[in-house]
Amino acid sequence: MPNAADSDDVDSSPGPTRLWGGRFAGGPAEALAKLSVSVHFDWRLAPYDLAGSKAHARVLHRAALLSDEELERMLAGLEQLEADVRSGAFTATEADEDVHTALERGLLERLGPLGGKLRAGRSRNDQVATDLRLYLRDAARQVAAAVVGLEEALLGLAERDIDVPAPGMTHLQHAQPVLFAHQLLAHVHPLARDVSRLRDWDVRADWSPLGAGALAGSSLPLDPDAVAKDLGFSGPVANSIDAVSDRDFVAEFLFCAALLGVHLSRLGEEVCLWATSEFSWVRLDDAFSTGSSIMPQKKNPDIAELARGKAGRFVGHLTAVLTMLKGLPLAYDRDMQEDKEPVFDAVEQLLLVLPAMAGMVATLSVDGERLRASTPTGHALATDVAEWLVRQGTAFRDAHEISGAFVSWCDARGLELWEVPDEDLARIDTRLTPEVRSVLSVDGALAARSTTGGTAPARVVEQLAALRTAVAEQLQWASA
């Protein structure tokens, strides 16, 4: 097997493969090498770098820079390297600066000097930008599929407990009755927007930097259009400087992740509340909750808490990348190597937390009795009284006062609204006739809120069906 030092494309001194040895008298200082190395994290890009290499080999051939026979051997060498990367037979070593260096070493080990021809017209600058786009386009689909898993869990729970009412809250105080399913679907909509946002992102990520070279394009007759098509992009980036300088797709992806993380944290917080002894709306399944090392009775919502906690990490990643990019001169700067760990971590953490959240939600048991009993408490039907008065012809300003007086009458006597006898209703205000009782029930209050997007059972059933259709379509995109 020829040694890396046999190739004139790498430094001629024996030792590690470097892609930039020629004009340097000696190797890099250890402190530089340690600071500069990225292969321990950018190795994740290996499959995408190899895909880019195959596409590049084909355009080199079309430009008559590789013979038929050389192309065949080059592609076979790349296939072999790909298989060895997949099986683990070839791995990066500490001496490889980055994924591109490691894979060039692998190719040289397999093909000898022919391996050194592949780098013509290509730079790590356009390579890394291309690899990262390819990686993130796959990741966006995996994350979207995992979001769909959580959406489906929420839809399943909403469907199962479609008749259960709940106290709708503002300021974390009982406000108006809602269906518990309506509250659950209110968490599905943000998630659906998260998937939609990833799809919008994908439209802008769909352009290939490969062919930009270091920054200015190439004097070799390469074909960036053909490379772009080969890699599943719509076309090449229109400006070679932008191609290697742009990390909008990283920052934007991290915004998608951060907002998704915020949505997960809000759902996580509600699950934590719902599972407290004070609320006791839901019970967590044993498989999706944890115990305490000292308190035998504990059942803790760790998944919901971790989901809540990780939001900080995602926001941090977005902040890190935006701050790194701020003020960077065009074109490539080494600062940009700092773009990778944040996105890799964001993707990997989302792929951990989303399935756990989905499992936790799918296995929640809802205490419908308790929810029904607590729904009208805290005078949650006071708005219904006011709106009933409006329907009888009272101005809302007066109706609000009358209903407020009704509430304070009850508070002073420890009564709920529906417990006040007819004669006392009349004493509070003559306009409070016994007919007001028609709205002093949870089911009446729910059914009455039948405007578009409202919590009336008929509206919620429609909403659920529409979300089912939307989510199925999202899954199609994610698995394409």
**Residues forming the site for ligand ARG (CB under 6 A):** 38, 42, 98, 124-125, 128, 332, 334, 336-337
- Looking at the Cβ atoms of 323 and 377, the one nearer to ligand ARG is 323
The first and second tokens of residue 78, run together, are: 């790349």
Q: Are 125 and 212 in contact (CB under 8 A)?
A: yes
SS3 content of the chain, % helix, strand, coil (to 5): 65, 5, 30
* Cβ atoms of 96 and 90 closer than 8 Å: no
What the block records as the tokens of 408 is 């304070």
User: Closer to ligand ARG at the Cβ: 326 or 397?
Assistant: 326
Report, in Å, the least distance between residue 340 CB and ligand ARG.
Answer: 6
Query: Whose Cβ is closer to ligand ARG: residue 331's or residue 360's?
Result: 331
Structure tokens at 295: 């308190």
Catalytic residue of the set 171, 219, 277, 293: 171
Nearer to ligand ARG by Cβ, of 35 and 458: the residue is 35
* Separation of alpha carbons 350 and 254, rounded Å: 11
In angstroms, rounded to a whole number, what is the distance separating the alpha carbons of residues 472 and 466?
A: 10
Give least dist CB 100 to ligand ARG, A. 6
CB of 26 to ligand ARG, least distance (A): 18
Q: DSSP label at 5?
A: G
Catalytic residue of the set 12, 234, 292, 365: 292
Residue of 252, 144, 142 whose CA lies nearest to 206: 252
Compare residues 43 and 477 and give the one whose CB is closer to ligand ARG: 43
CB of 103 to ligand ARG, least distance (A): 12
Cα angle: 445, vertex 447, 452; to 5 degrees? 110
36 catalytic, yes or no? no
205: closest CA among 243, 239, 260? 243
Other residues' Cβ atoms within 10 Å of the Cβ of residue 12 = 10
Nearer to ligand ARG, 39 or 144 (CB): 39
Nearest CB to ligand ARG, comparing residues 37 and 304: 37
The answer to whether residue 263 is catalytic is no
Whole-angstrom distance, CA of residue 181 vs CA of residue 265: 19
Q: Are 338 and 132 in contact (CB under 8 A)?
A: no
Distance, CA of 350 to CA of 354 (rounded, Å): 6
CA distance 188 to 414: 38
For the CB of residue 58, give the shortest distance to ligand ARG in the complex, in Å.
23
Shortest Cβ 174–ligand ARG spacing (Å): 53
Is the peptide bond preceding residue 331 cis, with omega within 30 degrees of 0?
yes
* Residue 442 near residue 376, CB atoms below 8 Å: yes
User: What is the smallest separation between the CB atom of 149 and ligand ARG, expressed in angstroms?
Assistant: 31
Two structure tokens written together for 70: 């050389």
161: nearest Cα among 141, 179, 134, 173: 179
Q: Which residues are tagged catalytic?
A: 171, 292
